[in-house]
Structure 1
C-alpha cells in the first residue's frame, strides 16, 4: 500500500510543479469529422491513401503512430511539432498544431494542411466539415483505431453495464469518441495565476456554451446545441463527476486544487507497453490495494490480469474536465466543440485574450446579475445554456450584453499584444449580434428545410470571417 503523503507528493510533481515556467505559448488541437458524401461508411482505404499522400506532400512529417494492421494513424513534424492524426477512429481527423507565440502562424499552417486534406478527400467524394457531431455518423463503421490506447479507451466506455450499483444514467453511445469532435486550446500558466485561471474561467463556461456550441445530434435530438456535454457526463468517464465537466467549487489555494486531484478516479495503467483496464475507482482507493483486477488486450481478445499499483501510475490519471491541468505545465480548455472551419481560430483567440485579464474578468462575473446570483452554479447554468431554448428567467438582451462585454475584454487583451489577433474574434461578435451560435444555426436551418448537405458544405469552408 502506498501512503497518502507519497501520493500527494507525486501529484504535486506531475501537475503543479511544471507550472513554475513562464513560457506563454499557445497550443491548438482541432478534431474534424470525415464524411462520405455517398451516404456510406467512411472508406478507411481512402483514409490510408490520403495519409500516405499527405506525408509525401509534407515530407517533414514522419510516422508517429502505427496501428496493429500496419496503417499509420499519426504523423508528426519534428521541426515544429505539428501532428496530423486520427482521433479514436478513422472517422475523425485531428490537427494538433505545435506550440507558438501567436495565432497567425498556427492558422497559416492549419489552413494549408486542411485545404490539402479536404481537397484530397473530395477526389473520393468524401469531405471534411466543422461540426462537433458527425451528421453522417449513422453510416459509419464505429470501430476504434486498432492501437493500444484507442482499444483501451473504447473498452472502458463499453463497460458501463458493469456499474450496476452506481445510481447514474448511462447513454447508449459508448462509441461517441468516434463521431464527436472538439476544439481544444492549451495555454501556459504560472503558479501565481493557476488558481485564479481555473476559478475564473470555470465561471464563464455558461457564456462559452452560448458562444461556441456546435454539437447537434442531427436526426435524433434538436433540443441541445452542445450534446457533447451529455456524451461525456453520462459515460463511464462520468462515474466520478469530479472527472468531467465544470469545477463547481472555488479553489482557495494550491492545497485545495491538490485535494481535488486526489478526489479523481483512475481506470487504466500500462505495463510493458500494454494498457490494463479496471473499474473506475478513486485514486487514493486504488493505491490502498495490494492488487487490482483488470483486463488486458492480447491476441485479439481481453483476458483477466491482476496489477500491482505503482506510484508512477499517476501519469495515467487522465480526467476530462472542461479545464484540465496537464503534465506540461499548461491549462487545457476542452469544453468547446469543433467550430465551422473558417472560425477555427476564434476559440484560441478568446482564451488567449482573456488569459491576462483575469482580474477584470472576475469583476465582470462578480457584478453580473443576468446569470449569476440566481441560485445556480456555473455547471447548472451551462446545462441550461446548451439548450436551444433558454429558460424564462434569463433576459436575452442582457445576456448578449454580458457576452459582448466578455468578448470585448478578450479583444482588449489581444490588442495589447499588438499582433492583430483580435481579427479572429469577429465570428463571436457576429454570433452575439445574431443571438445565435453554430449549433442554433444548424437547428434553425434544418427546421426551415435546409438540407444537411448544405450545412456540411458551409461549415467545411476555409477562410477567416472578417
Structure 2
C-alpha cells in the first residue's frame, strides 16, 4: 500500500475544510496528597461516580473517560497522579474556560474531602513519595510496556506518571498549515520562556524537566516522534514527506496491542514482511512538541501546566499567534536576522528548559522586547476577535518583561506573582 496516500488521508485531508479560529484545550494537573503520601487509587477513581451525577457519562468501554453533552471529557491521563480536562473545541476560548472553571471547582471539591488537591505545575512535587499509580487503560498499558521494554536503561521509565501539560489544538486551513507548523516550531523556545513550569526531581535547575524525560526515554529510539522540530516546510507535500520519516512502534491484532522495535512508517506499510494493515495507522502515536493530529488539528503540546489562575494562558497565546500569524512571522524573522541567530529550534529551547542563562541566546533586553512584542501580537489578534480572550494572557506581559517563567525561583507558582 502507498504510505504517502495513507498519511495524507489520515492526517491531512481533514485540514481541507478547516478555517482558523476554533481551539480545543487539554489541561492536565498533578493530583497530590497534601500529606505527601501516595494517591489512593480507589478514592481517585471515585471522581467518575461524582461527575456521573453531574451530567458526565462513560465514553468508552474501559471506563477511564467520561463525557458530557458539551463533548468535554474528564479522565486520568496515564496515571491516577494526573487528572485531565479535555475541552471540546469551539470558537470562544472564554466560553470554554467558563465550563472548565465549573468542572475544576467540582473536582477540587471532591478531592479536598480526603486532603487531596489539583495543583498548577508540570512535574509532581511528591515524586519521591509516590508510585506510578498507572490507570489500567489499554493504551496506557501499551505505552508503559514499550517504555519499560525499550527504555530499561533510562532514569525514569515510568515518567508519564509524574508529568502534566497543556495541549492546544488549533484549526488551520491546509494552505496555511506548512507555515503555521514551521513557525510554531520556531517559537518553541519562546513558549519555554513564558510557560516553563516543570522543575526537575534532582534539583539541577531545569525549568522544564518534561522535555528531558520525554527525549531521554525509549521514545528517543523512534525517529521523529518526540522532541523539538528543526525542519522548515513550505508545502503540504513536504510535511507528508516528514511524516514518512517517523516511526511506528505498536499496532493492534485481535483487539490487543502489540509493541515492536520502532520501524519507519514508509518501510512498515510498504514492505510486506511487516504484515501491515491500513488501519494500523490508527495506532500511530507521536509526542513531538508541535504535531499534526488525526483529528485535523495543529497541536502545540510542549507547554507545561500553569499556575492555577493562568491555566489558559498557553492556549490563548497560541490562538492569538495563529490568528495574527503574518505579524508573528515578520517579528520572528526580524529577530533572527537582526541578531544573527543561527541556532536550531532544539538548541534554543534547550538553553531555556535546562535552566541556562538566557543571554546565551542574545542580549536579554533585546530578547525581552521580542517576547513582549509576541505577547502583544497575540493580544491584538484576540482583541480583534471581540470575545474578551485577551485577558487570558495578561500574566504574560510581566513574564516577558522579567524573562521569568513559573519555574524560576523568583516566581510564586500558585498565585502568578513574584
TM-score range, shorter chain: over 0.9
The C-alpha deviation readout for 1:178-233, integer Å capped at 9, x for no partner, is: 11001001011101101110111111111111010001024x13421001111111
Please, which of 353, 365, 379 is the counterpart of residue 386 of structure 1? 353
> Hey, what does 1:331 align to over in structure 2?
298
Whole-angstrom distance in 1 between the partners of 2:398 and 2:290: 26
Please, which of 227, 236, 250 is the counterpart of residue 254 of structure 1? 236
Larger-Rg structure: 1
Alpha-carbon spacing, 1:122–1:370, altered in 2? closer, same or farther (3 Å): farther
> Hey, what does 1:133 align to over in structure 2?
123
- Asked whether the 8 Å contact 2:369–2:401 carries over to 1, the reply is no
Please, which of 142, 156, 166 is the counterpart of residue 183 of structure 1? 166
Matched, 1:41 2:35: no
Please, which of 202, 210, 219 is the counterpart of residue 237 of structure 1? 219
> Hey, what does 2:264 align to over in structure 1?
282
> Hey, what does 2:381 align to over in structure 1?
413
Alpha-carbon spacing, 1:269–1:241, altered in 2? closer, same or farther (3 Å): closer
Matched, 1:424 2:406: no
Whole-angstrom distance in 1 between the partners of 2:50 and 2:278: 43
Bigger shift: residues 264-273 or 429-438: 429-438
> Hey, what does 1:210 align to over in structure 2?
193
Matched, 1:377 2:344: yes
- Asked whether the 8 Å contact 1:224–1:388 carries over to 2, the reply is yes
Aligned-partner SS, 1:105: helix
Structure 1 residue 372: Cα displacement: 5.8
Aligned-partner SS, 1:349: helix
Aligned-partner SS, 2:207: coil
- TM-score of the aligned structures, taking structure 2 as reference length: 0.94
Please, which of 58, 67, 72 is the counterpart of residue 63 of structure 1? 58
Runs of 5+ unmatched residues, structure 2: none
* CA-based RMSD: 2.0
Whole-angstrom distance in 2 between the partners of 1:392 and 1:105: 39
Structure 1 residue 391: Cα displacement: 5.0
- Asked whether the 8 Å contact 2:30–2:162 carries over to 1, the reply is yes
Structure 1 residue 32: Cα displacement: 0.5
Structure 1 residue 107: Cα displacement: 1.0
> Hey, what does 2:150 align to over in structure 1?
160
Matched, 1:76 2:59: no
Alpha-carbon spacing, 1:66–1:92, altered in 2? closer, same or farther (3 Å): farther
> Hey, what does 2:308 align to over in structure 1?
341
- Asked whether the 8 Å contact 1:20–1:329 carries over to 2, the reply is no
> Hey, what does 1:320 align to over in structure 2?
287
Aligned-partner SS, 1:28: strand
Aligned-partner SS, 2:343: coil
Following superposition of structure 1 onto structure 2, how do residues 86-165 of structure 1 map, counting pairs within 5 Å? 86-161=76-151
> Hey, what does 1:309 align to over in structure 2?
276
Bigger shift: residues 30-39 or 233-242: 233-242
Whole-angstrom distance in 2 between the partners of 1:89 and 1:368: 41
Whole-angstrom distance in 1 between the partners of 2:179 and 2:266: 26
Matched, 1:52 2:63: no
Whole-angstrom distance in 2 between the partners of 1:22 and 1:157: 35
Aligned-partner SS, 1:335: strand
Alpha-carbon spacing, 1:430–1:221, altered in 2? closer, same or farther (3 Å): same
Runs of 5+ unmatched residues, structure 1: 163-169, 293-307, 446-454
> Hey, what does 1:167 align to over in structure 2?
none
- Asked whether the 8 Å contact 2:29–2:305 carries over to 1, the reply is yes
Structure 1 residue 98: Cα displacement: 1.1
Structure 1 residue 289: Cα displacement: 4.5
Bigger shift: residues 206-215 or 276-285: 276-285
Whole-angstrom distance in 2 between the partners of 1:435 and 1:197: 25
> Hey, what does 2:29 align to over in structure 1?
32
Whole-angstrom distance in 2 between the partners of 1:358 and 1:30: 24
Alpha-carbon spacing, 1:66–1:340, altered in 2? closer, same or farther (3 Å): farther
Structure 1 residue 156: Cα displacement: 0.8
Aligned-partner SS, 2:164: coil
The C-alpha deviation readout for 1:324-358, integer Å capped at 9, x for no partner, is: 11112211110101111110111111011111222
Bigger shift: residues 136-145 or 99-108: 136-145
